[in-house]
Amino acid sequence: MIKVTRINGTEEFFVNENKIEFMEETPDTVISLESGKKSSEEDIKWFGSNPPDPILYAPEGYVETIRLKLDFTDEQLAAVQLAANGAATAQSAYLTSVADSGENSPATKLKKQNLDNALAKFNETLEKSYVARAADMEPILEQLRGGGDFFATMEKLSEDQFVTNYYVHAESTHVEEAYRTAAMALENPGDISDVVRIEGGVCIIQLVEKVQPGVRPYEEVKEALKEALINARIRSEESILENEYAQKAFEANIVQMYLDKL
């Protein structure tokens, strides 16, 4: 990590030097990273989708949240996908008819009615799935608002692939608008949102903290930074050993590599 100073001359923050692609003056200095994102005075949204671990610096206006998510069931997902495919097929047929026969032809008008029906079917199916999953979430929400342990319940019941913290700003684009709105409305650490509709399911959100902007004092992050460096060293050594053992196994004909499967 390298330390840089904002253009106001008083605030410092840290950037992973291994991720820097190039720097330019516009006239302010802008650091462009490999991901295509820019770390600059103006790009406040970058932090939310790329939070460092540990956090050494944070822009103003962020909240830290966790969530408990329930995905659509397999049956609900299949029904939504079937309805979406039907709408896509109807739209393709309508556009083809417009191109072939014109927008006002009887055939096109019939295709337009079919499209409207298919879209209505899709919206109805999606709404039913959201309503059903929200109903499944309500008892969990009631339990948590009654004093249940959010984190423990999240680890047990959440259907997110990974349990992670979400850093959200009023201008964030890495989360859905509904999630952003609900997260920013929470006032105190520990507050829990109502059921929120997100892509593929529903969730409830708990506010962890309103992130203190600026550079974190060294004493505050020292232990977390030490742990992160140790873990990085362990991952690096594990990767070296894995490659070494894989090479030995390959040379001993214990395993066979299929390049076309990579």
Q: Which residues pair with 38 in a beta bridge?
A: 32
Query: Do 206 and 229 fall into the same domain?
Result: no
Round to whole Å and give the CA distance between 115 and 86. 9
Share of residues in the chain with pLDDT > 70 (%):
78
6 and 88 co-located in one domain: no
Whether 49 is in a domain gets the answer no
153 neighbors 43 (Cβ within 8 angstroms) = no
255: its two tokens: 């395993």
| Block residue for tokens 């047929």 | 93
Q: Within this chain, do residues 146 and 243 fall inside the same structural domain, yes or no?
A: no
Range of the domain at 7: 1-43
pLDDT at 162: 84
Regarding whether 162 and 86 lie in a shared domain, the answer is yes
Are 200 and 221 members of one domain? no
Does residue 156 contact residue 122 with C-beta atoms inside 8 Å?
A: no
Per the structure, the count of domains in the chain is 3
Write the pLDDT tens digit of every residue in 92-145. 999 999 999 999 999 999 999 999 999 999 999 999 999 999 999 999 999 999
Contacts of 115 (CB under 8 A, 6+ apart): 87, 90, 91, 93, 94
In a domain, 191, yes or no: yes
Asked whether residue 87 falls in the same domain as residue 106, the answer is yes
Locus of tokens 């409305």: 185
pLDDT in tens, 157-171: 999 988 889 999 998
Q: Are residues 202 and 226 in the same domain?
A: no
pTM above 0.75, yes or no: no
35, 78: one domain: no
CATH number of the domain within which 192 lies: 3.10.50
Query: Is 59 a domain residue?
Result: no
